[in-house]
Structure 1
Amino acid sequence: MTRAQETLLGVSGLRKAFGGLVAVRDISFEIRRGTIAGLIGPNGSGKTTVLNLITAEFPADAGSVRFRGEELLGRRSFEICRARIARTFQLVRVLPGMTALENVMLGRMFGAEPARPAPAEHEAEALIARVGLAGRAHMYGAQLTYIDQKRVELARALATRPQLLLLDEWLAGLNPTELQVGIELIRQIRKDGVTIVMIEHVMEAIRALCDTCVVMNAGEKIAEGTPDAVLSNPQVMQAYLGTDTGAEDAAA
């Protein structure tokens, strides 16, 4: 197996319950280095909880998460970041009292390869421009629109120098033009050597970007494969639509 084909992230038997509610039940999947994988399913299916377990937002009840062959469960969130895993959040977490530039500088100064303020500022400026925020670097987080806050969060994640990037509905809320720009940006990030796992409800983006998809419903994995294969799977259509018909609607 070549380096490009090796397993970068391996999730096995992952489980998390909140009281009597099992949010994630025995989830297992592998992510190959250099790929883009979609984590999809109806709202409330446990997708974000999986990312939260990988990044130590929550402790797992059982299972294993191995990154580059090393176990991650039991580590703290900053250690996950230092291991070269970064993420964005479904509910954006931009520091409102800091500028866009300062938010991104934090990622470079405290990420996998901590830098001093001067080089961190230089790299942050380049990342701000890359995500489409040139000219807004000195606006405070609280002054930015929701979409621009998402761009800041992506730039900050990239500033940590990840090998694995977890995107939680990063494309949600974009207009058609912004969506195409966002899809191309994610393609370019992959070309830079970053492996990506993306939670997304925009099936146009899933079809355009993903090599493989893992489909969840009610905390369980119900399908895995290429986007075309899983989106035509009757069990997946049942989960999304409550019917075994309407494949084209499920893929829209």
Structure 2
Amino acid sequence: MLATPIYIICSPSPQVGKTLIARLLSEFLLLKNGKALSFDVSLKEPSLLDYLPNITETADVIDTYGKMQLMDPLIIHDGVAKVIDLGFHAFDEFFKMCEEIGFMKETMRCYVAPIIFFVANADRVSFRSYDMLRRRIPPAALVTVHNEFVLRGGLPDAMDGERVLRIPALPLFLKRYIDRLSFSFTGYLRNEKDWSTELHQWIRRNYTMFRDLESSVMLRGPYRSRATNIESLRGTRAH
């Protein structure tokens, strides 16, 4: 039985390319599986909802109701891959919540496979947050993303672990081209007949990396019935 993957794209720092990576991954999953569900936890505009409104829902972790609205669909083994674009403002609160409700253990029992995409940066807060995740997240579930457009000096040694995705930097004019709200990565692959273009090769390379990663995480953990740890949030909400 294949686990249901959840991809959490995160960083405690702004302007590192989280939404770009969430867009790429969401479009890849939609192309590969025919369906996907994304969650936009962001204050920035434009956001994932603006790019992929047909498969994206807004969410927040400000209060208990918002947390439950986000967590409920994540814990369900329904075969629909999910992507969370976690804004930097929600980073600490989201992982604090995960720790409080035992989210990682809960997903293992429910045959759901969460994968944390930590988008690296060279600032102090990123090092501190990465170290926190290493202590709380199983190694197989933590992936460092090196966005070379943002972090051009190379990935810091402390973050260069076993599981690293490297997103090559595009020239600035192509970066501006793909940042348009009307742009679709899959649409470009379908419509651009010249496979030798730099953008065509860039999209295909990233899609291939996502495919290989997905194959390595889909068969994880025994399936058990849904547990009750997450009910702690419902109890809090009831009061």
- TM-score band, normalised by the shorter chain? 0.3 to 0.5
The structure with the greater share of residues assigned to helix is 2
TM-score w.r.t. the length of structure 1 is 0.36
The structure with the greater share of residues assigned to strand is 1
TM-score w.r.t. the length of structure 2 is 0.38
